[in-house]
């Protein structure tokens, strides 16, 4: 977890290499066998030209970064909004990065407002989004609300 | 689980999918953790819960192959321990058409066995164009 929660603080990035096996495992775990993810011959006929990873798989990596930074505060008081900009494909290496944009107080509760993105090895943006985490009482002042 | 599926054309805003319950058993969560390359800590990752909620909804919905996720909103309210049972509810918030694009906006709510909300979300799905399916 972050030792200090300050405006401008960058979050520890999460880096993942995905393969078709990763995608197949996720399909099996989630029950989402949409052929765009798992059927290479079907996917080759679509505008994507091949299989793509599940968006929710990429979001799992975002959630991992947020959990590493904020621990249980994220799991029980997190919020995110994300747009999928481009597909992640087998053999992509994805980097999820983020930072704390501000610490806001709303009705006596502190929230860390963050932005994040995921990009591939070609520096193409896969997803962009915003997240907010409700901080435990007193954490906003104690840990760097500016 | 529901035994009947509904197709896009039959959906109307406000339509509620039959609710579905899941036991977040150790094997189920372990399979998820392996798929996302993460480790066990006795709690169910919130994105696993979201994935199961979407899966529950998808069981009652037949979308064309090649439909993709355009955007996602999620909010988490409670920790969920491995072994808990959750109930997933979903409804159609909007059906949108922009040019040749057809989009579906779905709202999801997940409750624990005490009927307390653990998660809510909104999913936007883009359906492939008719030409792509031809």
Domain at A73, CATH number:
3.10.129.10
Give the chain B residue whose CA is nearest to the CA of A74: B76
Question: For B8-55, how does the pLDDT look when each residue is reduced to its tens digit (9 = 90+)?
Answer: 888 899 999 889 998 999 999 999 999 999 988 899 999 999 999 888
- Percent of chain A scoring above 90 in pLDDT: 82
Q: Is the pLDDT of residue B134 over 50?
A: no
Torsion sign, CA atoms B62, B68, B71, B76: positive
Say if the Cβ atoms of A36 and B68 lie within 8 Å: yes
> What is the overall mean pLDDT for chain B?
89
CB–CB contact A79 B70 (8 Å): no
Domain count, chain A: 1
Domain-located, residue A5? no
User: Is B38 in contact with A64 (CB distance < 8 Å)?
Assistant: yes
B51, B65, B76 ranked by CB distance to A56: nearest: B51
Is residue A104 in some structural domain? Answer: yes
Indicate the pLDDT class of residue A146, thresholds 50, 70 and 90: very low
Closest Cα partner for A58 from A127, A4, A105, A137? A127
- In angstroms, the separation between the Cα of residue B60 and the nearest Cα of chain A is 13
What is the rounded distance in angstroms from the CA atom of residue B58 to the CA atom of residue B126? 14
Which residues in chain B have their CB less than 8 angstroms from residue A77's CB? Answer: 76-77
Nearest CA-CA distance, residue A129 and chain B, Å: 9
For residues B76 and A75, the answer to whether their CB atoms sit within 8 Å is yes
Nearest Cα residue in chain B from A38: B66
The CATH number that applies at residue B80 is: 3.10.129.10
Separation between Cα atoms, residue A9 and residue A35, nearest integer Å: 40
3-state secondary structure of A17: strand
Residue A138 pLDDT: 66
Phi and psi of B68, rounded to 5°?
Answer: -130, 160
**A15 within domain boundaries:** yes
User: What is the rounded average pLDDT of the residues A69-97?
Assistant: 97
Does a structural domain hold residue B133?
no
Best residue in B20, B46, B104 for a mutation probing chain A (most A CBs within 10 Å)? B46
Mutating which of A56, A81, A88 best tests the B interface, going by the most B Cβ atoms within 10 A? A56
State which residues form the domain around A83. Answer: 10-142
Confidence check: pLDDT of B1 > 50:
no
Question: What's residue A139's pLDDT?
Answer: 65
Query: Dihedrals φ, ψ of B111, to 5°?
Result: -125, 155
Q: Could you say which DSSP state residue B129 is in?
A: P
Say yes or no: A13 contacts chain B, CB-CB below 8 A.
no
pLDDT at B2 over 50: no
Residue A21, helix vs strand vs coil: helix
Residue with structure tokens 């492939």?
B128
Task: Report how many domains make up chain B.
Answer: 1
The tokens of B15 are what?
Answer: 């339509």
Give the model's pLDDT for residue B130.
63
CB A71 within 8 A of CB A65: no
Annotate B31-40 with b (16+ C-beta within 10 A) or e (fewer). Answer: bbbbbbbbee
- Give yes or no for a contact between A25 and A38, defined as CB atoms under 8 angstroms apart: no
Structural domain harbouring B119: 6-128
Q: Distance between CA B52 and CA B44 in Å, rounded?
A: 11
Cβ-Cβ contacts under 8 Å, A34 against chain B: 65-67
Q: Do B32 and A61 touch (CB under 8 A)?
A: no
* B1 touches A at CB < 8 Å: no
Q: Can you tell me which residue has the tokens 């968006």?
A: A55
Q: Is residue A2 part of a domain?
A: no
Residue B134 lies in a domain: no
């Amino acid at each position: 977890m972050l030792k200090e929660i300050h405006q401008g603080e960058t979050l520890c990035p999460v880096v993942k290499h995905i393969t078709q096996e990763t995608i197949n495992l996720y399909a099996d775990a989630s029950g989402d066998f949409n052929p765009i993810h798992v059927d290479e011959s079907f996917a080759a006929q679509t505008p994507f030209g091949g299989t793509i990873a599940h968006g929710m798989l990429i979001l799992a990596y975002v959630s991992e970064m947020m959990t590493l930074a904020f621990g249980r505060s994220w799991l029980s008081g997190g919020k995110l909004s994300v747009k999928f900009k481009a597909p992640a494909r087998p053999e992509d290496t994805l980097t999820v990065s983020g930072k704390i944009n501000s610490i806001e107080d709303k009705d006596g509760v502190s929230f860390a407002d963050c932005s994040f993105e995921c990009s591939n090895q070609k520096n193409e943006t896969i997803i962009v989004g915003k997240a907010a985490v409700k901080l435990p009482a007193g954490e906003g002042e104690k840990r760097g609300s500016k | 689980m529901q035994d009947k599926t509904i197709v896009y054309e039959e959906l109307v805003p406000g339509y509620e999918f039959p609710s579905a319950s899941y036991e977040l058993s150790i094997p189920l969560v372990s399979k998820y953790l392996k798929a996302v390359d993460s480790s066990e800590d006795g709690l169910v990752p919130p994105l696993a819960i979201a994935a199961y909620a979407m899966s529950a909804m998808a069981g009652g919905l037949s979308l064309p192959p090649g439909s993709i996720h355009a955007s996602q909103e999620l909010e988490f309210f409670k920790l969920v321990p491995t072994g808990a049972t959750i109930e997933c509810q979903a409804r159609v918030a909007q059906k949108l058409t922009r040019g040749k694009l057809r989009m579906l906006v779905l709202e999801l709510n997940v409750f624990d066995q005490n009927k307390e909300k653990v998660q809510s979300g909104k999913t936007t799905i883009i359906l492939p164009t008719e030409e792509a399916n031809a």
